[in-house]
Amino acid sequence: MEAKVRELSKLSEEMVVPILTRLSPKSLMRFKCVHKSWYNLINNPSFVDKHIMTSDRNNHSTSILCKRFILKDVSSEEKEIVYSLITFYNDNSGDEHITVEDIDIPSSMGVSTRGQFVGNELEAVFRIDKGHCQGLICLSDAWNTILWNPATKEFKVLPQSCIPDANMNCVGFGYDPKSKDYKVVSIRQDELGNEDARIVIYPPRVEVYTLGTDSWREIKTYNLEREVTNLWPESFQLYYKGFCYWIGREQRKEFLSQYAIVEGEDEWVRYMITFFDTTNEVFDHILLPNCLYQQEEQFSDMHVIVWKETTALFGSYRIGGPDAYGLWVMDNLGCVEVSWTKHVTLEVVEGIKKDLEFWKSDEILMIATDGRIASYNISTKKINYLSIDSIYPEYSEAVVCLNSIVSINRRQ
């Protein structure tokens, strides 16, 4: 092996680059030590971009990062959070195989991974938040935000907020293709205000962290405030082609009393999708398909996904009967009026607690009521139970993860 590496190190850069871009991050981290020229090459931003492009086309380079809960000790009922990388691959005969690798979380990340978890403590642990971009994962809780590359084992605890007097609502994570830098978007909420005996809910305050400068700055949020309502990005969904997406809600911003807010009296107007342009740093919104606003139809869990290289909406809903899954594709993004076309309708799979991630055009990662994790094929209607589970199905999370060599601990 060493002899082959030495021979490879003698080749020209034009010949070496196509070979190295096909290697895994683990191999490339080792090959940095072969020669100084290789170290510089592998760290070069243009090589990193080529490696991402090659990995994007290679199914072996894509995994699913799953956060699950296991019973570590039966006698003491001590529970443990486990982050697992699930990889699907086909052998030479075309048969599909699955590998599961549990990842050790460095204690210095400050992520709680051991101990007794009861009640609301489960909600206090770090969330994946579906914050994935080019191999980097964004983890967050009520106080801290962390960027992490599971493939290279690098992580970074971000500086404290530049808006310390506001409560953090949620975060988003993406890439600015113009500046070629990574950005974290933090949406924060001020305390309620009292004006002329009325209760006023102020619009969201937003700060953006840029990896290249390692700093936060507050930005204007004009499009999140309307005449009588505020738009609240709430559940971060994904980054795709220069945009971060959230499922959010429209909220009235004036109430006659605190009692009206507590009672939730017409507080929320409707659900919608909010998106953020990572280059221009402006927000906008898209209404959901019209059928989801009909009074007799109530949707329970919707996700913005990428389906066949198109932005789409997927989730469970009810139309005066049993739950079902629907998939709508977004048309005319960027135009004045966005329309939706429904492409898929599925019956809810019996025994399934919730869907975790739509990870291919025909595969959904799901978790059963008994905690077993499975992959469901929407074309064949077949369900494949994997060899892993979670004792808390409702708190388990998953995100598609590209195995990349993007470095977190650097400045541009």
| Domain limits for position 53 | 1-57
Does residue 51 sit within a domain? Answer: yes
Residue 23 tokens read as 């290697």
For 180: left if phi > 0, alpha if psi spans -120 to 50, otherwise beta; the answer is left
Does residue 104 sit within a domain? Answer: no
Does residue 40 sit within a domain? Answer: yes
Q: How far is CA 234 from CA 69, 98, 141, 275, 306, in A?
A: 24, 33, 14, 11, 19
Does residue 16 sit within a domain? Answer: yes
Mean pLDDT estimate for the chain: 81
Does residue 164 sit within a domain? Answer: no
Does residue 23 sit within a domain? Answer: yes
In angstroms, rounded to a whole number, what is the distance separating the alpha carbons of residues 104 and 102?
7
Q: Is the model's pLDDT at 128 over the cut of 50?
A: yes
Band of residue 11 on the pLDDT scale cut at 50, 70, 90: low
Q: How far is CA 312 from CA 335, 340, 362, 369, in A?
A: 16, 9, 13, 26
* pLDDT of the residue at 319: 60
Q: How far is CA 338 from CA 70, 223, 239, in A?
A: 43, 17, 19
Tens digit of pLDDT for each residue in 349-366? 888 888 888 887 888 899
Residue 252 tokens read as 């009235």
In angstroms, rounded to a whole number, what is the distance separating the alpha carbons of residues 36 and 13?
13
Sign of CA dihedral 342, 170, 248, 224: negative
150-183 exposure pattern, b = at least 16 Cβ within 10 A, e = fewer: bbbebbbebeebebeebebbbbbbbbbeeeeebb
Cα–Cα–Cα angle for 385, 386, 388, rounded to 5 degrees? 125
Does residue 280 sit within a domain? Answer: no
Q: Specify the higher pLDDT residue, 256 or 35.
A: 35
* pLDDT of the residue at 284: 93
Q: Is the model's pLDDT at 380 over the cut of 50?
A: yes
Q: How far is CA 283 from CA 160, 222, 244, 278, 384, in A?
A: 23, 8, 9, 9, 39
322 DSSP 8-state letter: S
* pLDDT of the residue at 412: 42
Tens digit of pLDDT for each residue in 146-168? 898 888 888 899 998 888 777 77
pTM here? Answer: 0.86
Asked if 80 and 74 touch (Cβ cutoff 8 Å), the reply is: no
The number of distinct structural domains making up the chain is: 1
* pLDDT of the residue at 206: 94
Does residue 36 sit within a domain? Answer: yes
Tens digit of pLDDT for each residue in 167-217? 777 899 999 999 999 999 999 887 766 665 677 888 899 999 999 999 999
